[in-house]
Amino acid sequence: MKSYLAAGICAALLCAIAAQATAAPGKPKSQIVWALSAAPPSIAAGAAVVTMSDTGQIQYLRKGRNGWTCIVHDPATPMGHPLCLDKNGLEWMATAMSGHAPDPDKTGYSYMLQGGSVWSATDVAATALPPGQKDFIRVPPHVMIMNAKIANSSGFPSGQTNPDTHKPFVMFGGTPYAIVIMPLK
């Protein structure tokens, strides 16, 4: 009985977050709700919430207490979905945004429960559609494993310009920025 009650409370909390998170809003309270919708409730409850500029500058909207940081929107993507990263994932993102290769000995994790989008599945620096590509890549809700050694040796499809985003694949395969994308649906 207790497990049903706990599951019901978790489901209600997740539904409430999702109901309020229909678009990347502009007010801090709604930005916090939107950012937290990227992670499971157990992580969102203690996560820091930040906004991030195109240059990687971070502004805190809420301090965290569990080592996870949820970002209102990913400025390097076409649709700017929210994401929630652990400490190593946040370091990976900041390093990649600065044009440097992430530390190959650290593994970061990220949730994107609202889904995500990228300009290119092969070029981490892309800021527009590559020549010949008609649309950006849409990825359903997923988890990312952010480590090139793991990604490049995973055996998942890699290096595809138009991957099947409903199955696990490697984004930016063969590069120091390679990450495993694990769809949740």
pLDDT of residue 3: 35
pLDDT of residue 94: 87
pLDDT of residue 26: 62
Residue count (the chain): 185
Please state the φ and ψ torsions of residue 73, each to the nearest 5 degrees. -155, 145
Q: Which residue type, as a one-letter code, is found at position 12?
A: A
Rg (CA), the chain: 16
**Is the pLDDT higher at 67 or at 29?**
67
Residue linked to tokens 């500058």: 57
Residue linked to tokens 């000995």: 105
SS3 32: helix
pLDDT of residue 48: 97
Domain boundaries, the chain: 2-183
* Per-residue pLDDT tens over the stretch 11-56: 333 333 333 333 445 678 899 999 999 999 999 999 999 998 877 7
CB-side neighbour CA atoms (13 Å) of 43: 21
Q: Which residue type, as a one-letter code, is found at position 75?
A: P
What single string gives the DSSP state of each residue in 77-146? SSS---EEE-HHHHHHHHHHHTTSPPPTT--EEEEETT-EEES-SS-TT--SPPTT--SPEEE-SEEEEE
pLDDT of residue 46: 98
Dist. CA 113–CA 168, nearest whole Å: 15
* Per-residue pLDDT tens over the stretch 133-177: 889 999 999 999 999 999 999 999 999 999 999 999 999 999 999
pLDDT-based confidence at 184, cuts 50/70/90? very high
Claim: this prediction has a pTM higher than 0.95: no
* Per-residue pLDDT tens over the stretch 96-139: 888 899 999 999 999 999 999 999 999 988 989 888 888 999 99
